[in-house]
Amino acid sequence: MSLTALNSTHDPQLRSWLASANAADADFPIQNLPFGVFRRRGSSEPFRGGVAIGDAIVDLGAAAPLFAGLAAEAAAAAARPALNALMALGAPAASALRAALSEALRQGAPQQAALERCLAAQAQAEYAVPAQVGDYTDFYASIHHATAVGRLMRPDQPLLPNYKWIPVGYHGRSSSIVVSGQGIRRPCGQTLPQGMAEPVFGPSRRLDYELELGLFVGQGNALGTPVPMAQAESHLFGVCLLNDWSARDIQGWEYQPLGPFLAKNFATTVSPWIVSFEALAPFRLPFLRPAADPQPLPYLDSAENRAAGAIDIRLEVLLESAAMRSRGEAPWRLSTSSYRHSYWTAAQLLAHHTVNGCNLRPGDLLGSGTQSGPAPEEAGCLLELTQAGRKPVALGGGETRSFLQDGDRVILRGWCEKPGAVRIGFGEAAGEVLPALAAAT
């Protein structure tokens, strides 16, 4: 199935019988319907699959008897504590469930009374990571981020020779992936302070965030069987927000010769809701490379990817300091960007990951890499935004930041909007920096 084609679920005239879904600035209108797992806050209930609509959640286990065929099978699979079983059914099953929900949530739908009994309030829910993540790979897909960081480290050659030819990535740590709202403990490790000949051990003093998207794998592939570009997106379940927390001073000492390790594996935050590629269809754009750049090798190229491989997902980073919270002030916007600037598309990341026969499994997670735009104010991390700490950014109330301080709450948000389509959102991925453990200092 094509994930770029429009269908009745995208109709901008659709309205839901749930009034909160019809607000102009709603993240979760009827045209979105993202998947997640939830339970009532403070309860001992098992987590279970749900779909966001307005300010509510459709409990998919409770709603499953309302559907038939593939939609009912998908709803039953989604009723478990993680979405892996739904992901394994593939794009047609998720699409069938999304279509059935769209029909049942529309104004005048005969299922309204029955489905109302399957709703839970988002304000009274708590969330878990939507899937059991077996493996996590983080890419480096923004040429603007790669160039800006490269200038800080290698002014004469910001981009390494392979960057424009190959989607660069590294294997991360799935066990430390957490859902939005969980505190992030400041990591400890070895660093080499400027001017010193020997490293020291202690809490990171250059803690940073990275504005990324997460791509959840749906149906996997058998070991030894690459996924061609024409099928790559059908193996992806959907998109979330992702913060790849990074300790830059630990990273600077350890990253050569084998790349990221302790500087990255202490925490990765994802948003609770996964937006399907089908919901993103109205916001597709052509994928274009500058004429002077190498064009993708054949295994990373397809007519559909050239026609609609890019997606205009707007992104922003906000910071709320402890002082701002105490004064009741709104978070301070640090930067904005868009996924449309990515040098590699989601399909290319998956096709490259499997071209050597690597097998991906339902629920595996791919990070897009920091999504910076071409302008300085579109930087996706403090390392870029502050020029490695040399130019602190100003916050409201007279505060400044070179890197994150204890008590800082970082909030990532994302949304899509354009004339002729209903705005859809991703919610947020947020985490507060907690002090390093005293026992580790």
Type of residue found at 276? S
Per the CB < 8 A criterion, the answer to whether 58 and 102 are in contact is no
Range in 44-58, 166-180, 353-367, 427-441 with the lowest mean pLDDT = 427-441
Q: pLDDT-based confidence at 77, cuts 50/70/90?
A: very high
- pLDDT of 154: 86
Which tokens in the block code for residue 9?
A: 């679920």
Is residue 440 over pLDDT 70? no
Is residue 73 over pLDDT 60? yes
- Look at residue 2 and tell me if it is in a domain: no
pLDDT digits (tens, 9 = 90+) for 184-217: 999 999 999 989 999 999 999 999 999 999 999 9
Q: Are both 152 and 73 inside the same structural domain?
A: no
Q: Are both 155 and 84 inside the same structural domain?
A: no
- Beta bridge partners of residue 35, listed in sequence order: 51, 274
CATH of residue 106's domain is: 2.30.30.230
94 vs 277: CA distance, rounded Å:
10
Q: Are both 210 and 106 inside the same structural domain?
A: no
Which tokens in the block code for residue 354?
A: 């499997």
Catalytic residue from among 145, 235, 341, 352: 145
Is residue 1 over pLDDT 80? no
10 catalytically annotated: no
Is residue 343 over pLDDT 80? yes
- pLDDT of 439: 55
- pLDDT of 153: 82
Task: Work out the average pLDDT over 291-318.
Answer: 97
Closest CA to 260 of 352, 367, 129: 367
Tell me phi and psi for residue 181, to 5 degrees: 105, -20
3-state secondary structure of 388: coil
pLDDT digits (tens, 9 = 90+) for 262-273: 999 999 999 999
- pLDDT of 360: 98
Mean pLDDT of the chain: 96
- Beta bridge partners of residue 316, listed in sequence order: 336, 413
CA distances from 12 to 22, 108, 242, 391 (A): 11, 17, 28, 44
Is residue 416 over pLDDT 70? yes
CATH of residue 224's domain is: 3.90.850.10
Q: Are both 404 and 432 inside the same structural domain?
A: yes
Is residue 99 over pLDDT 60? yes
- pLDDT of 107: 98
Q: Are both 264 and 218 inside the same structural domain?
A: yes
**How many domains is the chain partitioned into structurally?**
2
Residue 203, preceding bond cis, omega within 30 degrees?
no
Q: Are both 121 and 172 inside the same structural domain?
A: no
Q: Are both 160 and 100 inside the same structural domain?
A: no
271 vs 426: CA distance, rounded Å:
8
50 vs 62: CA distance, rounded Å:
10
The region that residue 407 occupies, defined by phi over 0 for left and psi between -120 and 50 for alpha, beta otherwise, is: left
At what angle are helices 69-78 and 91-105 packed, to 10 degrees? 100
Q: Are both 155 and 80 inside the same structural domain?
A: no
Domain edge (last residue) among 127, 152, 180? 127
